[in-house]
Amino acid sequence: MPWFLTHFLIFPALDFIRPVFGAIPLRIVISGFAATDESTQVSAASQFRIIFSLEEEPVLVEYLLKASRIGFPLDTSTLKSLAYDLAIRNIKRIPDSWRTQKSAGKHWLKGFKSRHSQLSIRTPEPTSIARATAFNKTNVGPFFDKLKQPYEELSLTPERIYNVDETALSTSQKPQKVVAESRVKQVAQLVSHERGETIIMLGIINAIGNSLPPCLVFPRKQFKPHMIFGAPPGTHGFANPSGWITKKLFVECLRHIHRHVRSTPENKVLVILDNHESHISI
């Protein structure tokens, strides 16, 4: 805005309003300056900044958190539909777009998320019902009862308790979003191979969250040092035509752990394993 408009319009308006701020309706102030309705319109979006009260939103937050804890988290579309249903049920003033779409808008979702930092948009991990129901006090309790005995007998500390397990890695990663020409049906990105190969990684982590360099098993007859180029320092590589850890390779993995933790008869380490064939062979 030019300086002369600021001087002759804004400053007199402030001087007029300041002595009686809040004491007269806005329309009277507008009429005193011959302002038109078009110049003083308030956008529809600003009229509906917060739909639910400060007492109602925490109830919705608690419902979302509880649903997530029991394995039934709501996606953003379901949350917006739920917000619309709650607004209708509680006779709230809502924008016309909510009624048209039968759903809350993206601006409400963004504001709702910013007001409640304990909520975040996450990608859930698929978990079977059998696995979820097996994780309960009755099934998990005996594990800690058995863990208590060596923990006390060996005078272990959390950093001397390690969990070891395998996971599968792929040499072909999911491409990230790239910048390309619009109106092109398909965008290609060159990779070494399309399908990739599966590499077995033996992860090693202790009870305080510190990890050791992993062991990698490649589906090859012979291991070559270049196979672990770029891997974390200290990574130990193996080769097996099947790509799986065998009894012999697992013993080598235990030696790998021993070299890093420097366990001795006086300073023992507890390694927790599952019942895989290669683990129970020793």
Query: Which tokens in the block code for residue 173?
Result: 């990663």
Q: What is the DSSP letter of 45?
A: G
The string of pLDDT tens digits covering residues 231-276 is 999 999 999 998 888 888 999 999 999 999 999 988 899 999 887 7
Task: Write down the pLDDT at residue 102.
Answer: 93
Using a 10 angstrom Cβ sphere, with 0-12 exposed, 13-18 middle and 19 or more buried, the burial of residue 104 is buried
Alpha helices in 129-262 (DSSP H): 129-134, 137-153, 247-261
- Range with the poorest average pLDDT among 37-41, 128-132, 146-150, 204-208: 37-41
Nearby residues of 205 by Cβ (< 8 Å), 6 or more positions away: 162, 163, 211, 212
Q: Does residue 205 carry a pLDDT above 90?
A: yes
pTM of the entire predicted model: 0.56
What mean pLDDT value characterizes the chain? 81
Task: Write down the pLDDT at residue 44.
Answer: 47
Is residue 218 very low, low, confident or very high in pLDDT (cuts 50, 70, 90)?
A: very high
Query: Which tokens in the block code for residue 127?
Result: 């978990």
Q: What would the mean pLDDT of 191-198 be, rounded to a whole number? A: 70
Q: What is the DSSP letter of 178?
A: -
- Range with the poorest average pLDDT among 39-48, 144-153, 241-250: 39-48
Cα separation values, 105 from 56, 78, 112, 256, Å? 18, 12, 11, 54
Here the contacts of 70-75 (C-beta below 8 Å, separation 24 or greater) are 71/127, 71/132, 73/122, 73/124
The string of pLDDT tens digits covering residues 76-132 is 999 999 999 999 999 999 999 999 999 999 999 999 999 999 998 888 888 888 877
CB atoms within 10 A of CB 223: 16
Contact 166, 200 (CB under 8 A): yes
Q: 40 in helix, strand or coil?
A: helix
**What percentage of the chain reaches a pLDDT higher than 90?**
46
**Which of 49, 30, 59 has the alpha carbon at shortest distance from 107?**
49
Q: Does residue 42 carry a pLDDT above 50?
A: no
CA atoms in the 13 A half-sphere facing the CB of 140: 7
Task: Write down the pLDDT at residue 236.
Answer: 94
